[in-house]
Structure formats: structure tokens, C-alpha cells
Amino acid sequence: MMPDGVALVLLADRGFADGKLMKYLKEDLGWHFRIRIKCSFQFQLEGRGLKVSSVQLQPGQAYFTPMVVIGKTNPYPNVYLAFAHDKQSNEDWVIVSDQPTNLQTFAQYRLRFCVEESLLDLKSNGFNLEASRLRDKFALSQLCGVIALTMLFLVLQGVQVVASGKLQFLSSLPDPQPAIASKRQQEDSFKREFTVLSRIPAS
């Protein structure tokens, strides 16, 4: 149970970019969302149909749409898009949000990288959850419960080791500043700078 007044925001990768999910999050759950979408998506801006791939940005540029309709087969209205071309990774980023977008939208989305290692632990790097091939909902929920308790125990154990100043006994290399595994992404985020365009660039 979440405390009253807490705003929940789903941060998700491209596999979750679905109009039905967005509608469910917003209208049924009352959640907000920041979801990365593929370049093949279509959207309607001021009555004009466009492909996400048609928005061509130069490295370091960003563009934020007013309210748009996203999708062609099952269009979902009243969302906003955030476009950016990141200099460091040379990647195009497109985030769909139920709230007006700005540079903070990308900072919010990058928070999902803090749990990236946990997702890997559930897959080939650790518990290999997908290899269980369980189809029974009860059995799968039992297994997920055991994994959740195990991960909680390991995290609490790690926190206790760091808090007691005993980290050096576990590693041959001293770590003067213990941090989450995603520290590099967090540091990189502070180096990113964008020029915000006031209108959609000509393709």
C-alpha cells in the first residue's frame, strides 16, 4: 500500500509502449508514465500525421511537443513527446509522457537505470527466472516471492556491510566511495546538455 498523496510514475522501455497500457495506467490506476518508444511509432501533431523517425535532430538538440495523439491502429490521445539526440551515446531518445515534457523528463526516465542490474540478476546473470518455464500462476508467484525475499536479504546484508565499514574485507580493491552500480550512468547524466528547439525541425 502506498501512502496517500504519493504520485506513482512508471518508467519503462520500448517493449511497454502500448496505448492500452497507457490508458490503463492513467485512467484505471491513476499513475503517470514515461515510456521510451520506437522510431516506427506514429503521432498526430496539430492534425498532421507524422512518424517519430521523421523528427531529425542534430546531436545535442531536444524538442518537446505540445499535446499529441500517439499510435495509428489504436490511437491514444492527450500525451506528450520528448525528443533528444544524445551526444555521448549518439542515440535518439523519444519518451512519451502523460504530462508536459521538458529536460527533466529525460532525467526522470534515466532513474530506471538504477534498477537495471536488478533486472539482470533476475535473468541470465543470476536467478535465470525465464528458464523456469513455469506456466502455473501460483507456482510462479511462489517462486517470485522466494526470489524477492532472497534479493531483500542480499541488499540488506550489503547495506549492513557498507554501514559497518567492512567493505574492504570483501574486495581486494579498496572502494573509497561505495555507490550503486549505476553510478557511471548517474555521473554521465550530469554531463548531458541540450539545445531545446521551439518548433519541430524540418526533415
The stretches in the chain having pLDDT less than 70 are 1-2, 114-121, 123-126, 171-192, 202-203
> pLDDT digits over 129-183, tens only?
777 888 888 888 888 888 889 888 988 998 898 889 887 777 665 555 544 444 5
Q: Report pLDDT for 15.
A: 87
Q: Report pLDDT for 171.
A: 63
149: which residues sit within 8 A by CB, 6+ positions away?
A: none
Q: Report pLDDT for 127.
A: 73
Q: Report pLDDT for 25.
A: 94
Q: Report pLDDT for 194.
A: 85
Q: Report pLDDT for 181.
A: 47
5: which residues sit within 8 A by CB, 6+ positions away?
A: none
Q: Report pLDDT for 148.
A: 85
Determine the angle formed by the axes of helices 103-110 and 183-191, rounding to 10 degrees: 170
- Cα–Cα distance, 142 to 147 (Å, whole number): 9
Determine whether 63 is exposed, middle or buried from the number of CB atoms within 10 Å of its CB (0-12, 13-18, 19+).
buried
C-alpha cell at 165: 565499514
Q: Report pLDDT for 154.
A: 84
CB atoms within 10 A of CB 157: 10
Q: Report pLDDT for 82.
A: 96
Q: Report pLDDT for 92.
A: 92
